[in-house]
Chains A and B, each alone.
Chain A
């Protein structure tokens, strides 16, 4: 369970999120949608513990991410950010392995044919799936994905959704930011709409 308690986040002098509270249930898929610039990704980053909210608190199962060491936090939540860029020529398998055991997730996300490719040679969509695979390989109770479908075709989008549903059934709390143009969110257990 992720508890967001009366948080306010100010960016560049603008109150992006004001006095906001929410509960994200464990073992479910929660989708945060809303127009560009409404603070979806900012909210996600705050949940991930990237920075503290200016007011209020966020807890994951009673733990404060910002008070937890990077190492301990990586056992609690995993994050796949939007537009992951790879500068060094590791293979896809090596990159996923830095999250955890790679074989199963490579199979589930249909990355077998890419496993030995260098990540520096991938398309945007392929790099995004590698980033998602790395986060899932961490096998954390909370999985946070920022726009995971932005560069995916329907087939790969379906693959990712199937894996997320499977993880939720296994008790993982999945939080996803999706663009407001996402029409079909039937696979989500809960949809949070952020407004400007």
Chain B
């Protein structure tokens, strides 16, 4: 079993490498002598200054959104939870937009990433607080409150971004639908750091999330500090989603789809799911971004459209094959 798990992880890593390779080779501009240019870092400007940081960003934010969704679902023990539904993503966007409005940060800067993470954490904590005002955290209240708070925060993002006059502030469609179009190497630093730390915390808290799926009281009986485990997962969620959203905007659906696809294929163990949700998230975003920039080249499509088109049929197919992976109580 352990060998099989290792093989499946190796297979997915290989698939991500293949996807990266295809993504680097495809684009509106044909790169002559692609293999030669690939062997010589810095040789071709389009390959090394435009496509390479963009594809690496796709790998990083794909992993971040995938595991953020896993943390959201694990912490709330709710199959419908994901960063966009818990208010995390719109909180991150608002945090970054406010920092940009007040001239404290630029899009993709480390300062914007930090503001995004703080916004994500505050919004998620607010959703949880409002959803548990009447005692226990109810799944119904969590989703309703999360959707309502997301809508409110997104509206404020829209209003705030309309007030920003800086040329590089990005549009409302960037914050709501996401784009990897203007990524530079400098932009990767902050999101790489938050993603790495977020993945580390997610790995650490994963065994507790396995036990949290039995309910808070049984998790406590098994020795889990439920409040601490939930907070750790929410910090991981906020780092992952906050860093990704402040760099590429909100790419919806991937946070829901990646962990569910991983769970259908590899089972519910959270340690394994941290790895596989990250790899599946990366795979989907790398493919989606490649399609987004090449289907209607030289125009770009919104990446959110493609992630939905890619992820939804896979998810629907898996649910129809196997529906006992998550039993909703």
Which chain A residues have a beta carbon within 8 Å of chain B's beta carbons?
45, 48, 50, 69-71, 73-75, 77-79, 81, 84-90, 94-95, 98-99, 118, 120-121, 131, 134-135, 138
Contacts and interface: CB of A to CB of B under 8 A. Distances in A.
A48 B221 contact: yes
Nearest to B227: A70
A70 B223 CA distance: 5
A90 to B, nearest CB: 6
Given A86-B327, A87-B328, A88-B268, A99 B77 contact: no
Nearest to A100: B222
Nearest to B223: A74
A87 B222 contact: no
Contacts of A138: 222
Given A50-B220, A70-B224, A81-B217, A87 B77 contact: yes
Interface residues of B, number: 26
Contacts of A81: 217-218, 221
Residue among A48, A85, A138 with the most chain B CB within 10 A?
A85
A87 B211 CA distance: 11
B225 A70 contact: yes
Interface of B: 77, 79, 210-211, 213-215, 217-218, 220-226, 263, 267-269, 324-329
A126 B269 CA distance: 21
A69 B225 contact: yes
A71 B218 contact: no
Contacts of A94: 269
A175 to B, nearest CB: 13
Residue among A87, A90, A98 with the most chain B CB within 10 A?
A87
Nearest to A72: B223
A90 B269 contact: yes
7 nearest A-B pairs in the assembled complex, by CB-CB distance:
A74-B223, A88-B268, A79-B221, A120-B327, A88-B213, A71-B223, A89-B325
Contact of A99 (B222, B324, B326): B222
Given A90-B269, A98-B210, A78 B221 contact: yes
B327 A87 contact: yes
7 contacts: A73-B223, A85-B327, A87-B327, A87-B328, A87-B329, A89-B324, A95-B214
Contact of A90 (B217, B222, B268): B268
Contact of A118 (B218, B223, B324, B329): B324
B210 A90 contact: yes
B329 A85 contact: yes
A69 to B, nearest CB: 7
Contacts of B326: 87-89, 120
B226 A70 contact: yes
B70 to A, nearest CB: 12
Residue among A71, A78, A84, A98 with the most chain B CB within 10 A?
A98
Nearest to B207: A98
Contacts of B267: 89-90
A140 to B, nearest CB: 10
Contacts of B268: 88-90
B225 A71 contact: yes
A145 to B, nearest CB: 11
Contacts of B221: 48, 74, 77-79, 81, 135
A129 to B, nearest CB: 15
A81 B214 CA distance: 11
Contact of B222 (A50, A98, A121): A98
A63 B304 CA distance: 55
Contacts of A118: 324
